A and B are shown apart, each in its own frame.
Chain A
Amino acid sequence: MKISDQIVRVDVVEKINGTLKYIEDIKFDNLHYARTLRSTVAKGHIKSITYPEKEAGIFVVDASDVCHKNEVAMIIMDMPIFADKEVNYIGEPISLIVGKDKNQVISFMSRIVVEYDLIEPVLTIESGLEKAQVFTDHTFEVGDINSMTYDECFERTYETGYQEQMYMEKQGVVATFDGDIVTVYGSLQCPYYVLNAMKHALNLDDKHVRVIQTPTGGAFGGKEEYPSLIALQVAVASMKVKAPVRLIFDRREDMAFTTKRHPSKSRVRTYLKDKRIVGMDFEIALDSGPYIGLSDVVLQRAIFTLTGCYMFDNIRVNGKTVKTNNVFTGAFRGFGAPQSMYALELHMSQLARYLKKDPVDFRADYFVHKGEMTSTKGIFNEEIYLEKMMERLLENTNYRNQKREDHVGYGFAFIPHGGGFTGDGEAVHIKAEVHLKKMKDKIHILVSNVEMGQGAITALSKIVASVLDIDMADVIYTIPDTFHVPDSGPTVASRTTMVVGGLLYKAAEKMKSRMHEEEVLIIEHFKQPDYIQWNQEKLEGNAYMAYSWSALMARVEVDQLTYEVKCTDIYGVYDVGLPIDEKLLLGQVQGGVIQGLGYGLLENMTSENGQIQHHSFSNYVIPTCVDVPKIHTDWIINKFLDGPFGAKSVGELTLVGVAPAVAAAVEDAIAKEMYSIPVLPEKILEALNEN
């Protein structure tokens, strides 16, 4: 096997014929079913809960059943497993009602009465800022924005709303307890996050808790931190009930109450002198719900990705996570970058039009290059080919020769995406470890990174097979089970191929000379490259190990009668180092582009009085196959020295950038500025009305 070989995915036949068992398909003896009793108020004290009289077969599991700490371990322990005295968002779990007869559980639940003492909730970013309800607040600067000279200031504000991951398989977990070991099975991205949460809350050690990932029907970040909450709930339940307990959400429940993309508000001020950008002041605030969760990390990615593909003499970036009583927000592909890059790239497009400059040439003036400083005073260590990608994009789209047509618009976006955890996260927090085992003539991959549709099994197996020059069929990926696999870190941050694949590459290199042995175990630990220096206190240094890049153009047509936007084409040129597999890359590009298209055009989700308004497939619209544009994909090769075969990250890059490209294209078509996504026909009509 060579890395350039064209292969097919190794894990799809059982998916096609329906035999693959997801968590809801797996049988457990004496399985009990759990349903969640949830807060119906955005903020309040629980005055009383009146449960119906005890019934045989029904168990109520709540905070009093958590033996050690009623906390879901995330970065800060501010979120309870079960709300106890107070509730902080509509939908917050108060207890699980468990039983074997679902109709009985429902009947029991319908007779529960909860009384609250209401407290005034915070329901918008503005009111959160006014009340100084901010979790975290970070600023970094380059140059001196306060004392630069300029003759013009171009200022705009931008808004983005919620986006729901809409994985086709709903959240689901099962816990079993045999008197000694608590095991959680589930649709997960991060088995070790769940394990650590269980150890923390239940005061158990590695021998007494076990987490096994089951086939995951899509995740996109929605199953990154959220499952820790429900895993703990069923773990506690199964210990009480002394039987397996399963919790699977309804779709509407999933949409209304689980983590989703942070809504954002950005204010961008660009300072110009002689029509050139001399400084940029960027402020962004994220609606982070009532518990911090991963919001600070989302914020950090949002701000460290600024100022995108550009550098200016003077930069000031400030970001805030705002505490509200809206639904708890969290990880979703892009992880803060879609929000900040929407604002930045649309801003650049609007600025170009304002200055009467070509949107591509205007940007190229500020492109970053190898050896130059990043916005956090690090160094771009790698070769950067933005000019080359720009040329390729212009060539592929034939943009310069397009005749201008009425109601047709073109929009651009140029995007960087840092691979792996921010700053020193890989070295300080994750400390990934991988195992590569030879047993007779098979090579076994043991990592905690999961297959969730993205092709991890195929990609990681291909890397190992290519290094060892053996058949893919001789490489076996072990299902992540914390009893058997080491902690190679979570399946997030576009790190699976670049970081974990990189470690497996190194392990396989060591295995090469030992292939004659019957049994071999190679253990490889992550080591931070010397050129990555990061100061988390000052937010200074290399925020990321390596960057992937994209150059995008969208073409749209706006209907004159209905104001509907038809996106006809999305062109992309990508730098992901070296694609481990071209088909896998295309799959990530096409999937990410359509999710980005949804974010930019279709997926409207708002919250009112703390309640998500669009929580059904019939009013929260994700793209169907009828809504898709033609996706034209191209890439350049730019190998990353520390990536397996030169590979860099892919997964999130492909989504970021689509929304601003499409939004800019709409503005181009209607010759009007707009400041929020999704770009709905209703908003276009409003913009056109303002005459």
Chain B
Amino acid sequence: MKINFNLNNKAVSVESTLSRRLLDVLREEFDLTGTKEGCAEGECGACLLYVDDLLVNSCLIPMANVIGKSVITIEAFSETLAYQAIEKAFVTSGAVQCGYCTPGMVMAVHELFKTYPSPSLEHVKEGLSGNLCRCTGYQMIFDAVELLREGGYRHDQ
């Protein structure tokens, strides 16, 4: 059936079953490959994106639950001013090694600052607890978040 929703600030329509995963639809119908399947269990965070302003694991979302909603992927988020600050912080801190977890990590960092404008390390750990990274050991990701905090990250840009 035809499913209508808003994708990266544009109204779109896609032919899909109600049960098909949002992750698969984005990757296969819209060629938005920035969102990845790392585990298919909602544990690793590589598939994180926004549905109606909620950070969610797209590997678990059926298209039925996307109807009429607004989806933002890394592709759209990376065009915002807010993203620029995150990119700069990640580059400076060395927070990226193989890069596979990174788009999901970026989305989670943005969400973290929406919840806590000046997060403590405890807040940071809670906010990123659903993002697994096997390369960095997380320290430089914390450093990137600290840079953002010091720089007064504006999530609403």
Q: Which residues of A contact B138 (CB under 8 A)?
A: 590, 594, 625, 628
Q: Which residues of A contact B37 (CB under 8 A)?
A: 24, 170, 251
Contact B41 A617 (CB under 8 A): yes
Cβ distance A601 to chain B, nearest Cβ, rounded Å: 14
In the assembled complex, the Cα of A60 lies from the Cα of B23 at a distance in Å of: 28
Interface of B is mostly: loop
Contact A21 B33 (CB under 8 A): yes
B51 proximal to A (CB < 8 A): no
Contact B94 A16 (CB under 8 A): no
B46 proximal to A (CB < 8 A): yes
A20 proximal to B (CB < 8 A): yes
Given contacts A167-B134, A168-B38, A169-B36, contact A20 B43 (CB under 8 A): no
Within 201-217 of A, Cβ neighbours of B (below 8 Å) are at: 215-217
Contact B98 A218 (CB under 8 A): yes
Q: Which residues of B contact A22 (CB under 8 A)?
A: 33, 36, 100
Cβ distance B145 to chain A, nearest Cβ, rounded Å: 10
Contact A455 B97 (CB under 8 A): yes
Within 103-148 of B, Cβ neighbours of A (below 8 Å) are at: 103, 106, 124-126, 128-129, 131-142
Subset of 18 A-B contacts with CB under 8 Å: A9-B96, A16-B103, A18-B73, A18-B74, A18-B75, A19-B34, A24-B37, A25-B33, A167-B98, A169-B36, A218-B97, A218-B100, A453-B98, A589-B137, A595-B134, A625-B125, A626-B129, A628-B138
Q: Mark B10-40, 1 if CB is under 8 A from A, else 0.
A: 0000000000000000010001011111111
Contact B40 A251 (CB under 8 A): yes
A593 proximal to B (CB < 8 A): yes
A443 proximal to B (CB < 8 A): no
Q: Which residue of A lies closest to B136 (CB)?
A: A591
B60 proximal to A (CB < 8 A): no
Other-chain contact of B46, A168, A216, A583, A591 (Cβ < 8 Å): A168
A-B complex: 4 closest residue pairs judged by Cβ atoms: A18-B34, A15-B99, A453-B98, A217-B100
A645 proximal to B (CB < 8 A): no
Q: Besides A21-B33, A453-B99, A587-B94, 18 other CB < 8 A contacts?
A: A17-B78, A18-B74, A18-B78, A18-B103, A166-B134, A168-B36, A168-B132, A218-B98, A251-B38, A586-B139, A590-B136, A590-B137, A595-B137, A625-B133, A626-B126, A628-B137, A628-B138, A631-B137
In the assembled complex, the Cα of A617 lies from the Cα of B131 at a distance in Å of: 12
Q: Which residues of A contact B87 (CB under 8 A)?
A: 13, 16-17
Cβ distance B139 to chain A, nearest Cβ, rounded Å: 5
Cβ distance B126 to chain A, nearest Cβ, rounded Å: 8
A12 proximal to B (CB < 8 A): yes
Interface residue range, chain B: 35 or more
A250 proximal to B (CB < 8 A): yes
Given contacts A9-B94, A16-B102, A17-B78, contact A250 B40 (CB under 8 A): yes
B65 proximal to A (CB < 8 A): no
We find that the number of chain A residues with CB closer than 8 angstroms to chain B is 53
In the assembled complex, the Cα of A93 lies from the Cα of B74 at a distance in Å of: 36
Contact B44 A617 (CB under 8 A): yes
Q: Which residues of A contact B81 (CB under 8 A)?
A: none
Contact B132 A624 (CB under 8 A): yes
Q: Which residue of B lies closest to A26 (CB)?
A: B33
Q: Which residues of B contact A626 (CB under 8 A)?
A: 125-126, 129
Within 156-176 of A, Cβ neighbours of B (below 8 Å) are at: 165-170
Other-chain contact of A168, B96, B98, B129, B139 (Cβ < 8 Å): B98
Q: Which residues of B contact A218 (CB under 8 A)?
A: 97-98, 100, 134-135
Contact B91 A16 (CB under 8 A): yes
B90 proximal to A (CB < 8 A): yes
Contact A217 B98 (CB under 8 A): yes
A220 proximal to B (CB < 8 A): yes
B71 proximal to A (CB < 8 A): no
Q: Which residues of A contact B41 (CB under 8 A)?
A: 251, 616-618
Q: Which residue of B lies closest to A582 (CB)?
A: B94
Cβ distance A654 to chain B, nearest Cβ, rounded Å: 9
Q: Looking at B35, B83, B90, which has the most chain A CB atoms within 10 Å of its CB?
A: B90
Q: Looking at B132, B133, B137, which has the most chain A CB atoms within 10 Å of its CB?
A: B137
Q: Which residue of A lies closest to B38 (CB)?
A: A168
Contact B139 A251 (CB under 8 A): no
Other-chain contact of A251, B39, B73, B96, B102 (Cβ < 8 Å): B39
Q: Which residues of A contact B74 (CB under 8 A)?
A: 17-18
Contact A591 B128 (CB under 8 A): no
Q: Which residue of A lies closest to B100 (CB)?
A: A217
Q: Mark B79-90, 1 if CB is under 8 A from A, else 0.
A: 000010011001
A94 proximal to B (CB < 8 A): no
In the assembled complex, the Cα of A622 lies from the Cα of B75 at a distance in Å of: 28
Q: Which residues of A contact B75 (CB under 8 A)?
A: 17-19
Q: Mark A16-44, 1 if CB is under 8 A from B, else 0.
A: 11111110110100000000000000000
Q: Which residues of A contact B63 (CB under 8 A)?
A: none
In the assembled complex, the Cα of A453 lies from the Cα of B97 at a distance in Å of: 4
In the assembled complex, the Cα of A592 lies from the Cα of B136 at a distance in Å of: 8
In the assembled complex, the Cα of A589 lies from the Cα of B139 at a distance in Å of: 10
B72 proximal to A (CB < 8 A): no
A8 proximal to B (CB < 8 A): yes
Q: Which residue of A lies closest to B83 (CB)?
A: A17
A231 proximal to B (CB < 8 A): no
Contact B128 A12 (CB under 8 A): no
Contact B134 A625 (CB under 8 A): no
Q: Which residues of B contact A8 (CB under 8 A)?
A: 91-92, 94
Given contacts A9-B91, A590-B136, A622-B134, contact A18 B96 (CB under 8 A): no
Q: Which residues of A contact B133 (CB under 8 A)?
A: 168, 625
B101 proximal to A (CB < 8 A): yes
Contact A591 B102 (CB under 8 A): no
In the assembled complex, the Cα of A215 lies from the Cα of B90 at a distance in Å of: 19
In the assembled complex, the Cα of A18 lies from the Cα of B38 at a distance in Å of: 14
Q: Looking at B44, B75, B96, B128, which has the most chain A CB atoms within 10 Å of its CB?
A: B96
Other-chain contact of A625, B35, B40, B131 (Cβ < 8 Å): B131
A396 proximal to B (CB < 8 A): no
A133 proximal to B (CB < 8 A): no
